[in-house]
Structure 1
Amino acid sequence: MSQSNQKSEEIQNFLTRPYLFYPILLFLFVFLVDKLFFLEKVRDYLKTEFTYIYYDVKKDLLKELIQKYGSQATHKSPKKLVILLGSSRLLYFKNQEILDFYPDWDVYNFSSAVTTPAYYLFFLERMMEGGVKPDFLVMEADPFQFNANSTTFKKSNLANSFDLRFVLSYAWTLGRENVNYYLGNTIFGVSKNKPYLSNVVNRLTNKKFEMAELVKQMTIDTLYKDQGNAISPAGAFFERDFGRLEDSSIRTIGWIYPKYAPSEMQFEFYEKILKLVKERHIPTIVVRPEVSLPLENLLASMKIPAPWKERILPINRSYGIPLLELAESKDYECNSFADSGHMAVDCYRPFLRFLRLHFPHSVQ
């Protein structure tokens, strides 16, 4: 039998046996069902918390910012553009106070929960590509953002921000594990929004989620209206019990400082940021927000801040960009905390004054 006849017979046998298609059809069915887990309604029933909404809104605000201040903007605002990039420690400015005290500022807050230098670089690169040049850039830096053993980078930044172009552009820096994690979350819905049935049952049976849904919508509305500034979940509360601050410090250590070790990846991203803003002549300061005394003492006993400073300060000096610690600054004074790691809302007013005092004179 000739080779061509043999191949023809094999194809005919395959076509006459439909069960050979079953694995392909099954794969396609499962793949399509998996896409349901990307739907927002499905996601809301699977998630136990709503951290992802901060990341979703900030991406939309990035588009708004580029339309308003980018190279294609038709009527740019005469106000001074101030960009905030931080974690939840820079998230709760009151937009109305900014408008009241500094009406010549237009502040966009891209801070989000548990951010890292990689997150900052993503947003800054997209701003620059869109032709946005801030008059003043304020970035947060803290040792927790440089912890190689923290899982929060994956669960927060990789799971909710970035795009494929960014991940592939910095694949070597991110490493194979992080790239695979991102691709898995991008391609498979059950990876991004894990289908834990217990969460669904709680959502359907527990009425507290009705209130959670209301708080979620209020948060989203405020983020859009106030250009990234958020409602504080603690409201005007500040912790008066020193013992509770000590307990909260232990929980914070276990959450974002566990098994602390410096992340070479995040230091590399951090240096890329400073190089970028230096090349683009963007006035920039880096701030380390104050944390409660029990947490600072606990961090010091674990020898976390000192080696971090020894590593990061020379980087800042090499680019001529100051790193200012609120706990040591004469231009800031507030000692109220919502928990061990977050200043109370009342402290954002002196923080705002601190930023005004460090606003670059060249763009006053």
Structure 2
Amino acid sequence: MKSKPFLFYPVVLFFFIFFVDKIFLLPIFHDEFLQAGNSVFYFQRKVLKDRLAKDPDLKEKKLTLVFGDSRSYPFSELGIPEPLKKDWILYNFSSPQGIPMNSFVQLERILETGVTPDFIILSLSPEAFDDSKGFILSPFLRMGCDQNCINMVWDDIPLKEKWYYVLDHVFAIRSIEFNLSLFSSRLKQGNLKEYKASHNKEYQLINYTKGEYLMYGVQSNPIEKIKNDTLRIGSLYMSSYQLGKSQLPYVERFLKITKEKKIKTLVVWPKVFPEYYAYYEKFHIKEVWWNPLETMAKGYGAYTLNWNVPGTCDLFNDASHQSAFCFVDQMKEIWLNYAEK
């Protein structure tokens, strides 16, 4: 072995990488290290919670909170119909791949600040309930769930995700989803300061109002483009769809709290492009997912609204997201039939 020191090189390299990786445990990478997309949203939602608690309008107006995934980004108080708009404020806590586990944790944290909403819109998507697709759970577990949260949800996390969580702590760079190409681009342009919220344009856009993100779907794209997107996401999300068990308990816990607090609640199933909905039909999503959820919601006194029916808005930004233009009429429908009912 003395004559073959090169045999130790892989071991030395491993330990070198292992110790360099621990740089990513520093608070600077976890307190405020904004990359793009997911990390920006999850950080902003923490800021939004503090902004909400200090909002002076809470004393005079009724409060609506929105929870869900990217399909509910455009819910905004701008869409509340006149003359009811003057009586309401709306904060949107929808998050990228916002699973029900995330919605429940956010609601609990908001209630702990002493804020109790008058009305809640809980947007649910069947993709969030497929435990076999680990990439759906990972954004929340990495960026929206602190140690107290992990302790609470640990028993409900699929075994595969527990393994990934352990790896995130062995190799710290995994836990921040470090984007090397973005780092290189910012370094070349001298824009490393964009890792801070005060210089991050994406964060500033989201944080400008109350959490809604109207820019995500402001147009209705050509049908051919949407059909191509249908094939992509159909393969990504709906191939071998399996209804898991991790998220259902958190929908029920969410609804139990709203019933106990006497918070009027609407559970929404957002509409998707008809050809993508065909994937839902293939896996009997309405029968195996929506119908039981609808029964559960009504059992806790919540309203339900399925927009995947004929006669609802048919403008789409992509196969999975309606155009933001749809939300004008949809907000009117919600306020006249549910919020003010």
Larger deviation: 186-195 or 286-295? 186-195
* Residues 116, 157 of structure 1: 8 Å contact kept: yes
Matched with 2:90 is 107
Shift of 1:120: 0.6
Q: Are residue 78 (structure 1) and residue 85 (structure 2) matched?
A: no
* Residues 92, 210 of structure 2: 8 Å contact kept: yes
Choose the corresponding residue for 1:53, options 37, 40, 65: 40
CA deviations on 1:237-293 (whole Å, 9 max, x unpaired) are 21232x332221121223333421111111111111111111111110101111111
Q: Quick one: structure 1 residues 251 and 37, their matched pair in 2 at CA, closer, same or farther if it must change by over 3 Å?
A: farther
* Residues 315, 326 of structure 2: 8 Å contact kept: yes
Letter in 2 for 1:59: K
* Residues 79, 332 of structure 2: 8 Å contact kept: no
Matched with 2:326 is 347
Q: Distance in 1 between matches of 2:244 and 2:213?
A: 29
Choose the corresponding residue for 2:139, options 146, 153, 156: 156
CA deviations on 1:288-319 (whole Å, 9 max, x unpaired) are 11111111123212333321124322212321
Q: Are residue 262 (structure 1) and residue 249 (structure 2) matched?
A: no
Matched with 1:314 is 295
Q: Distance in 2 between matches of 1:356 and 1:36?
A: 46
Q: Quick one: structure 1 residues 134 and 182, their matched pair in 2 at CA, closer, same or farther if it must change by over 3 Å?
A: farther
Shift of 1:98: 4.3
Letter in 2 for 1:285: L
* Residues 315, 322 of structure 2: 8 Å contact kept: yes
Letter in 1 for 2:331: L
Larger deviation: 350-359 or 252-261? 252-261
Q: Distance in 2 between matches of 1:298 and 1:359?
A: 30
Letter in 1 for 2:265: T
Letter in 2 for 1:274: L
Count of residues in Structure 1 that have an aligned counterpart in Structure 2: 325
CA deviations on 1:307-362 (whole Å, 9 max, x unpaired) are 112432221232122221123387xx321001111111211101110221233447
Shift of 1:206: 8.9
For the residue of structure 2 that corresponds to 1:327, the secondary structure is: coil
Unaligned runs of 5+ in 1: 1-24, 70-74
User: Given the two structures, how large is their TM-score scaled by the length of structure 2?
Assistant: 0.81
**Identity of matched residues, %:** 21
For the residue of structure 2 that corresponds to 1:128, the secondary structure is: helix
Q: Distance in 1 between matches of 2:323 and 2:145?
A: 30
* Residues 143, 305 of structure 1: 8 Å contact kept: no
Q: Quick one: structure 1 residues 351 and 244, their matched pair in 2 at CA, closer, same or farther if it must change by over 3 Å?
A: same
Q: Distance in 2 between matches of 1:217 and 1:34?
A: 20
Shift of 1:58: 0.6
CA deviations on 1:54-90 (whole Å, 9 max, x unpaired) are 1110111112222338xxxxx8431110001121111
Matched with 1:123 is 106
Matched with 1:286 is 267
Choose the corresponding residue for 2:282, options 289, 294, 301: 301
For the residue of structure 2 that corresponds to 1:221, the secondary structure is: helix
Matched with 2:175 is 192
Alignment of 1:173-192 (within 5 A): 173-175=156-158, 177-179=160-162, 181-182=164-165, 185=168, 189-192=172-175
Q: Distance in 1 between matches of 2:78 and 2:315?
A: 21
Q: Quick one: structure 1 residues 183 and 129, their matched pair in 2 at CA, closer, same or farther if it must change by over 3 Å?
A: farther
Matched with 1:238 is 220
Q: Quick one: structure 1 residues 41 and 136, their matched pair in 2 at CA, closer, same or farther if it must change by over 3 Å?
A: closer
Choose the corresponding residue for 2:123, options 135, 140, 144: 140
The structure number with the bigger radius of gyration is: 1
Unaligned runs of 5+ in 2: 1-14
Q: Distance in 1 between matches of 2:170 and 2:113?
A: 27
